Structures are given as C-alpha cells and as structure tokens.
Chains A and B, each alone.
Chain A
Amino acid sequence: MNATADIHRDDMASKFGMWLFLFTEMLLFGGLFIVYSVYRFRNAEAFHLASEELSVAVGTINTLILLVSSATIAMSITAVQKSDKRLSLILLGITVLLGIIFLVNKYFEWGEHITEHIYPGSSILSLRGHGDVLFYGLYFFMTGLHALHIIVGLIFIGFTVVAVSRNRINSGNYVVLENCGLYWHLVDMIWIFLFPLFYLIT
C-alpha cells in the first residue's frame, strides 16, 4: 500500500492466517469424506473386497514415511530456534526426500492398477459393479488430490530451504518455516485418515 516496509511484524497474525487456510483444506477434503461415507454405507461389501486389492504393506510404509517426515520438519524448526542452521537444512532435506519417496511409492501403486485397467472411466472397471467403480473413483480422486498437496508442500519446503540457507529464516524470524510445517502436518494428518479408510477396512 505504500513504499515504507511495515516494521511491525505480527507473527501471530501470520500463523493464525495459516491455520485458517488449514481449516479450508479440512473442509475441502471433508467434502470427499462425505462422498466416501455415503458410498461406503451403500456399498459396504464391495468396499471391503476392493480394499483387499490394495497393498497394506505399501500403505503402511507410506504412512510411516509421512509420520517421520512430520517429525523431521518439526525438528528443523527447533534447529532454527537453536540457530543450528546446518541441522535444520539436513532435516528439511530429509523431509523432502521422504516426500519424494512417498510420491514414488504412489506412482508404482497407481501404475499397478492402471496396467490392470483399473482407473476412473475405464471400461474394465465399469464392468466390475458399482461398489468397485465408486471405491476406485474415490481412491484415485482422494489420493490424487492428496498427492497434489504433497507436491505443493514440497515446493513450499523448497522455498524454506532457500530462505534458511540465506538466513532469511533465522532464530529471530521463523514464522514462515512454522507455517510450512503446519501445512506439511496437515497433509500428514489427511493421510492418517485416508490410510485406514482405504487400506484397513478389509
């Protein structure tokens, strides 16, 4: 609004703004959970059986990956608070690496289904019955939207890595990193719910 920089920084406002944004994400995925609940209720048996076709092992590994990555990004904030720039960058790097491994796992998981012609709109899938169509529609849509959020999160973390290395994020000014962490934890939490609903309802 004017040329002079605002010297009154309000970190609480920044964090509050991020939490409000997280609320919108909860509602966004909430809409999909509504659809999931309704169709699971109407096609309970088919959902049970379809869920068995997913690999619990891969799902569990992915869950653990995201949990560890949440811990590492949280610890990177502690590192910044303690002015341990090197440790912070290492922890952020590990977070990114774990996020990428998650996406790679997802790629192979999806790939397996797609080679068997199980994907939204495929004629093979439509022959399998309504419950299966809805289960896989929800599976691809929800894990797909989630993966999109992981990608956005990784980009965000990328920005914080640059900012930390340039000391723009430091022990006196780290709210941006906290906000990045909040976003990443939300993405983790969404998966904490997606995992049982798709993999563990056998």
Chain B
Amino acid sequence: MEKTEKTKDHIISYRTYLYVLGILIILTLISVSVTSIYLGPLTVAVALIIAVFKSSFVLRIFMHLKFESRLLTVLVILVASLVTSVIIITLLDYIYR
C-alpha cells in the first residue's frame, strides 16, 4: 500500500553508532589475536563466528534492521541461510568423494 503520510522516523544517536563502532573494533582485534593462537581446524570456525557476530551489529544497528519491519529481518536470515546451504551442499560433494 502506498504511504502518503509521513511516519515519525526513528533517529539513532551518534553515541549509539560510536558505541557499536567500538564493539566492532574490539571484536576485530579479538579475532586477530585469537586466530594467531594455533587452534587447528577450529581457527576458521572461530574467525567465522566472530565475523557473523560483527555482521549482526552492522545489520541491526548500522543498517537499521532492528527498527525496520520484521519482514526484512526474516528475509535477510533466509537469504543468508540460502547462501550457506548452497555452500554446504556443494562442499558435501567434495567431502564425500
């Protein structure tokens, strides 16, 4: 349906953005130091988990998903799951050869 009235827009404060930036910087430095320890096959997993965690901040605050309609969040999760599934299914071929 077309929106003809202006709804009150949600404004995120500068401070919130700076806090989130701080968290992202800390997470980056954590991922650098954690992966410099030898964890074997877990290294990639840890690095990726931290990356996903960082992305969730970028998505929810910087990209405003926390304040948008839930449909968008559902779609983002679905698309991310699709990409992940296709990667896993393809890998399955190689793992079992």
Contacts and interface: CB of A to CB of B under 8 A. Distances in A.
Interface of A: 8-12, 15-16, 19, 23, 26-27, 30, 33-34, 37-38, 40-42, 56, 60, 63-64, 67-68, 70-71, 74-75, 78, 81-82, 172, 178, 181-182, 185, 188-189, 192-193, 195-197, 200-202
Chain B interface mostly helix, strand, loop or mixed? helix
B95 A64 contact: no
Contacts, number: 121
A195 B95 CA distance: 25
A73 B87 CA distance: 32
Contact of A12 (B3, B47, B59, B63): B3
Contact of B6 (A26, A172, A189): A172
B4 A8 contact: yes
Contacts of A37: 87, 90-91
Given A34-B86, A34-B90, A192-B58, A60 B28 contact: yes
A16 B2 CA distance: 13
The majority secondary structure among interface residues of chain A is: helix
B21 to A, nearest CB: 4
Contact of B75 (A8, A19, A75, A182): A19
Interface of B: 2-4, 6, 9, 11-14, 17-18, 20-21, 24-25, 28-29, 31-32, 35-36, 43-44, 47-48, 50-51, 54-55, 58-59, 61-64, 68, 72, 75-76, 79-80, 82-83, 86-87, 90-91, 94-95
B17 A78 contact: yes
B92 to A, nearest CB: 11
B87 A33 contact: yes
A197 B35 CA distance: 11
Nearest to A47: B44
Nearest to B14: A75
A38 B21 contact: no
A157 to B, nearest CB: 15
B12 A78 contact: yes
25 contacts: A8-B3, A10-B2, A12-B3, A19-B72, A23-B75, A26-B79, A33-B83, A34-B86, A41-B94, A41-B95, A42-B94, A60-B29, A68-B21, A70-B58, A71-B62, A81-B9, A188-B58, A189-B59, A192-B55, A193-B55, A196-B48, A197-B44, A197-B48, A200-B43, A202-B36
